[in-house]
A and B are shown apart, each in its own frame.
Chain A
Amino acid sequence: MDTFIFIFLAVLTIGSGLGMVLNRNTVNSALFLVLNMVSIAGIYLLLQAQFLALIQILVYAGAIMVLFLFVIMLLNLDDERSLFSKVRAKYISAFFLGVVTLSLILYSLEGVADLLPEISPEMETAGTVEALGDVLYTDYLFAFEMTAILLTAAVVGALMIAQYKKSNNGASE
């Protein structure tokens, strides 16, 4: 069962990745990317990395992609006719049916069942919040703090750039 779920998620991840790259419609691309992130979270969950899976959904699918969509929806308002006429429900159902069929074919190939390595029993404890926090705040404290400073600097920098343009325009008027 685990093997099948893994193959299904893997095919879904690759399929949605391809869909994201090949799609001309930006909103559809963004939605494929959301699907991609959620299926990667599923793979993490299969590896018993619960914390990583939840953070993947919370940060990437929940926050970053919503902002992406937000920007795309505001930018593409001009040529909306061409945006809508392209996608048909049959293509989307074809995509999902294709993913299911391909994963079934791959699963039914001989010898696939013992392709996957055993998940190490230590993952039961290593994937939890407590274990991760313990390591993050002792062994990797320096790297963690440096990342925090880098992110803060990036946010402050972005704010500075946004504010600079605004005040510059105000001055020229």
Chain B
Amino acid sequence: MAEVTLSSFIVLGVALFMLLNSAAIAVYAERRVAAFIQNRMGPNRVGPAGLLQPIADVLKLLLKEDVTPTEGNKFIHAVAPMIPVITALMTVAVIPFGEGLYATNINASVLYLLAVASLGVYGVTLAGWASNSKYSLLGGLRAAAQMISYELPLGMAVASVVIFVGSLRVVDIAAYQETWWFFFLNPLGAIIFIIAAFAESNRTPFDLVEAEQELVGGFHTEYSSMKFGMFFLAEYMHVVINSMLMTTFFFGAYHLPFAGYWLPELSPLVKGILDVSVFTIKTGFFMFLFIWVRWTIPRFKYNQVMKLGWSRLLPLSIANFIVIAAILFFIVN
């Protein structure tokens, strides 16, 4: 078993701190960008330019009364909101933020990412069931069905990257993209991954889980106070995590475009600062993309979501995988 070094702890601590705060920043950004897109002001009263708004929100949530349904299963009702938060926090353990800046480099870290993501479904499903409300249950079941359906194209898109690298380590995948990002080598895979990531994090146009017109609030209809706050936090953490994964798998991780061709050798400190800045800027761009899409594109119907997942994206991703495998085997080798 590999030794756990001090630098792992430092990277993990900083990453977890940044992730928790980035969820707050994502909430603020969502409200400001939404306001900008809808041509209004947005929150601008609390603190300079409304920057302290997330703190005010959390304070408000903490002071709200915590209501639990009498006929519901109280224990599962209380545990369910923690699951998506925990799985989101577990993900950062394997993401490289720069050359050598990662918490762990386990042998099958790509599978680890998929395994952790698949556990996140429980939070939503159990929340829906434990609330003992038809809206919650339907929302939870929809979420489970949708997340299972889109896990497959997501996995195939990641697999089409893995065969380039020949390693299941996320660190190797990031290092491989020094000259050519996978977005240029495997554009179809990148698009499939982005669509599936949107569906996995239950964001518009795939937010049928909480479609207000049909399901009141979806799986969190019966949630209030900080338990609702946890779901809210988890949603934005998943936005950040999925932005990080898009960056890592398809948009060069911490590398500048075609950096292998023109970037000179830098000292470790400068390289580290550059790597982390590049990674953060790319992640920020994808977070903006998530928000931009949410306030631009209307929601799909449920049958359209299922049809897109199973009869469009899945065959497309398998075909993409086979074509790439054939090209790599017959032409490159």
Q: Mark B136-152, 1 if CB is under 8 A from A, else 0.
A: 01001100110010010
Interface of A is mostly: helix
A residues in contact with B137, CB < 8 Å: 73, 77
Residues of the B chain whose Cβ atoms lie less than 8 Å from the Cβ of A85: 71
Interface residues of chain B: helix, strand, loop or mixed (majority): helix
Q: Are A73 and B148 in contact (CB under 8 A)?
A: no
Number of interface residues of B (CB under 8 A): 31
Is the C-beta of B328 less than 8 angstroms from some C-beta in chain A? no
Residues of chain A with a CB closer than 8 A to B260's CB: none
Is A66 within 8 A of B108, CB to CB?
no
Q: Is the CB of A84 within 8 A of B132?
A: yes
Do B144 and A87 have beta carbons less than 8 Å apart? no
With A27-B129, A54-B115, A80-B132 as contacts: A63 and B148 at CB distance below 8 Å? yes
CB neighbours (8 Å) of A34 from chain B are 122
B72: A residues at CB distance < 8 A: 84
Asked if A62 CB lies within 8 Å of chain B CBs, one says: yes
In the complex the two chains form, is A69's CB within 8 Å of B115's CB? no
A141 within 8 A of B: no
How many of A's residues come within 8 Å of B, CB to CB?
Answer: 33
Are B125 and A67 neighbours in the complex by a CB distance under 8 Å?
no
Name the contact of B108 in the complex, choosing from A73, A74, A129 (C-beta under 8 A). A129
- A residues neighboring B (CB under 8 Å): 27, 31, 34, 48, 50-51, 54-55, 57-58, 61-63, 66-67, 69-70, 73-74, 77, 80-81, 83-85, 87-89, 92, 124, 127-129
Which 8 interchain pairs have the tightest Cβ spacing?
A62-B118, A58-B115, A57-B115, A54-B111, A89-B75, A128-B107, A129-B108, A50-B107
